[in-house]
């Protein structure tokens, strides 16, 4: 095996490999290209030993909630270099911010307006955003014939049908007065409406569209 010194890029790769931060194809490429490089694998073992030591010395505490959706959102924001991503044009609530309330909050029906999304016939109205808890409360208006794509929930979702009907394709149809709850990580297939509907929705801001 080769004992040549590591380049700067190889040191970075060793750190990413040790932290399991590479994708499957990237991991396979590293293992193939560095197979005979003894210094590389020595660096990987050293980094893993150091990480294990830090983990042992830290407090035994679990995060108050799943932090991956928030981390993923920040990574995506940096990767986009300021350009709005297609998912954020479709799910405009991903960019919503709101100051914590002081006392009671009331919105009259005449106050505020519906915001268009990139999906034809679907508009949303922000009611409340709780960034710390990763929760949004909003109204969703879908015109006749509109459809919302399949998506995976970043947190529990609660939907109450105020007007009209909403079909969850392949599963069931909800009508005015019906309520549905979906758990975090669950998959919602395409939802569509024949005659239009108005929904009251409470959900995570980090749902992911499924291609």
Residues 206 and 95 sit within 8 Å (Cβ to Cβ): no
Q: For the purposes of burial, counting CB atoms within 10 Å of the CB of 136, is it exposed (0-12), middle (13-18) or buried (19 or more)?
A: buried
* Residue 4 pLDDT: 81
What is the model's pLDDT at position 1? 59
**Domain assignment of residue 3, yes or no:** no
Range of the domain at 112: 68-209
Res 83: pLDDT: 44
- The pLDDT value given to residue 137: 93
Listed residue (126, 130, 150, 146) closest to 208, CA to CA: 150
The string of pLDDT tens digits covering residues 178-208 is 999 999 999 999 999 999 999 999 999 888 8
Could you tell me if residue 95 is inside a domain? yes
Alpha-carbon distance 135 to 96, whole Å?
Answer: 11
Examine residue 39 and state whether it is found in any structural domain, yes or no: yes
pLDDT at 5 over 60: yes
What is the per-residue pLDDT for 9? 80
Half-sphere exposure of residue 104, counting CA atoms within 13 Å on the CB side? 2
Is residue 62 domain-resident? Answer: no
Return the higher-pLDDT residue of 17 and 177.
177
pLDDT of residue 63: 59
Domain-located, residue 63:
no
pLDDT number for residue 173: 95
Residues 40-58: tens digit of each pLDDT: 888 888 888 887 777 666 6
pLDDT at 10: 86
For 60-111, the pLDDT digits (tens) are: 666 556 666 667 666 666 555 444 455 567 888 888 887 666 667 777 777 6
The CATH code of the domain that includes 170 is: 2.60.120.10
Judgement on whether residues 189 and 114 belong to the same structural domain of the protein: yes
Would residue 1 count as lying in a domain? no
Question: For the segment 124-180, what is each residue's pLDDT rounded down to a tens digit?
Answer: 999 998 888 889 999 999 999 999 999 999 999 999 999 999 999 989 999 999 999
Does 23 reside within a domain?
Answer: yes
């Amino acid at each position: 095996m080769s004992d040549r010194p590591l380049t700067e890029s190889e040191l970075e790769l060793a750190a990413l490999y040790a932290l399991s931060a590479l994708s499957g194809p990237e991991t396979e490429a590293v293992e193939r290209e560095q197979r005979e490089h003894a210094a590389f694998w020595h660096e990987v073992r050293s980094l893993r030993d150091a990480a294990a030591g830090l983990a042992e010395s830290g407090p035994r505490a679990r995060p108050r909630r799943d932090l991956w959706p928030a981390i993923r959102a920040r990574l995506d924001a940096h990767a986009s270099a300021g350009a709005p991503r297609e998912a954020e044009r479709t799910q405009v609530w991903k960019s919503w911010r709101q100051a914590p309330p002081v006392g009671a909050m009331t919105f009259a029906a005449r106050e505020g307006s519906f915001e268009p999304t990139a999906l034809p016939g679907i508009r949303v109205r922000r009611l409340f955003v709780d960034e710390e808890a990763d929760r949004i409360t909003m109204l969703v208006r879908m015109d006749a014939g509109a459809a919302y794509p399949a998506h995976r929930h970043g947190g529990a979702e609660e939907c109450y049908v105020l007007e009209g009907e909403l079909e969850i394709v392949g599963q069931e149809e909800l009508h005015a007065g019906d309520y549905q709850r979906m758990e975090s990580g669950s998959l919602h297939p395409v939802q569509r409406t024949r005659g239009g509907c108005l929904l009251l929705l409470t959900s995570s801001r980090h749902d992911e569209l499924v291609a």
